[in-house]
Every structure is written in C-alpha cells, then in structure tokens.
Amino acid sequence: MSIVIPDEILVATRMTDAELKQEIAVMLFQKEKLTLAQASRLAEMNRIPFQHLLASRQIPVHYGVDDFEKDIKNLQEMGRL
C-alpha cells in the first residue's frame, strides 16, 4: 500500500519525506502498533540507529518474547527466514 502525502503537508510540517516516515514509525511503535523491526523498516533505518532515535526521545524499547515471535513469523511469511 502506498500513501501519497501532498507537498503542501510536507511544507507545512517543515519535514522531509524521511523525517515524516520516522515520525510515523516512532508514533506507531510507541502505541505498540508496530514491533521494533517493523518500525525501523518503516523509518528506513537500521535497528540500532532507530533505537538511538527512540532513546533520544526517552521512549522505552519494549521488545519482548511476543515481539520476537511476531518478527520471526513476519520474516517467515516474507520468505526471509
């Protein structure tokens, strides 16, 4: 699925495409809608830099067994495991 965000929205937010993706990823991770791996992928960042971004905002990394199992399942469904 693709989402088209009008240029005037980006101009209004004073953000780049990459910054907006990061903000959306952080918000969805914080609301526990995405796992750490999914959020870092959405933000187009490697996991460690994404964790640093979360830490800089004092957002705890809540990565437990359930998240690990979800990531394994997602990787299997994508044929990457």
DSSP 32: T
Quick one: pLDDT at residue 44? 95
Kindly give the confidence (pLDDT) of every residue in the chain, 81 residues in length, as a single tens digit, with 9 standing for 90 and above.
Answer: 788 889 998 899 999 999 999 999 999 999 999 989 899 999 999 989 999 999 999 998 876 787 788 878 888 988 877
pTM of the model: 0.72
**Contact assessment for residue 29 and residue 36, using Cβ atoms and an 8 Å cutoff:** yes
Helix boundaries (H) for 14-78: 17-30, 36-42, 47-56, 65-77
